[in-house]
Amino acid sequence: MDNLYPDRTPFKPDFEPELQPQVREVSRNQGMSWLDFSGYHKMSDFLGLNDAERRAPKIAEQVSYLTDWAQEVTGKKDEASQMRAINQLKRDLGTTYKGLDLITILYRYARLDEQKRSVEGEMSAYQNKRKTQRQVVKRKSISKPTVNLQSNIDKKLKSVSGVIEKKVNETISAQIGKTLDNVMRQFGR
C-alpha cells in the first residue's frame, strides 16, 4: 500500500503492548523527596506558600528548619504543636506576612534563637565549670589569701559574664530589628 500522505510517516508499532502492566517497586529510601511528605505540604499551607514557592529547595530547607526548631522548642513531634509554636512566634514578632516574607522573618528568628541558646549553653557550662573549680579550690585551700584572691576572681567573672550576657541579648535584639527593617524595606511594606 502506497503512502497516501507523503508528508506523514505511517504508524508502525515497535512493540506489542503488554497485557499486564508492570508494577515497579520503590524503596522508601529511594526516589523520595520533600514533596512526597504530607507534613511538608501541611506546613507549607499553614505558612501560606504557593505551589511554585514550595517546590524551591531553598524554601524547603527553611520550612524544614522551622519545623525542627518548633519541635525543639515544644519538645513534641506532632504537627499541631509545631504549628502552634510557629503561630505564637508570629504573634510575638507581630508579623502578618504570608509566604516568602513570613518564611524569611521566621527563619531568621529561628537561626538567631538557636545561636542564642548555644551561647547561653556555653555560658552555663562555663559557669558550672567555674563552680566546680571553686569547690575544689575551697577544699584544698588552707590559707585566707587564696580564698580572698579566688573570691575577687569570682566577682570579676560574674560581672564579666553579666556584661557578656547583656551584650549577646542586645546583639540578638538588634539583629532581629535590622532583619525586620530590611525585610520591610525590601518588600515595600
Flag whether pLDDT at 21 surpasses 50. no
Could you read off the pLDDT of 84-115 as tens digits, one per residue? 999 999 999 998 899 999 999 999 999 999 99
Q: Could you please report the per-residue DSSP string of 138-184?
A: HHH--SHHHHHHHHHHHHHHHHHHHHHHHHHHHHHHHHHHHHHHHHH
Report CA-CA distances (Å) from 23 to 37, 85, 178. 22, 42, 55
Q: State the pTM of this model.
A: 0.52
Q: Name the amino acid, one letter, at 70.
A: A
Flag whether pLDDT at 179 surpasses 60. yes
Give residues with Cβ within 8 angstroms of 100, minimum separation 6.
Answer: 49, 53, 59
Assess contact for 77 and 71: CB atoms under 8 A.
Answer: yes
Q: Residue 20's pLDDT is what?
A: 47
Q: Where are the domains of the chain?
A: 34-186
Average pLDDT over residues 27-49: 75
In the block, cell 529561628 appears at: 110
What is the C-alpha to C-alpha distance for residues 182 and 176, in angstroms, rounded to an integer? 10
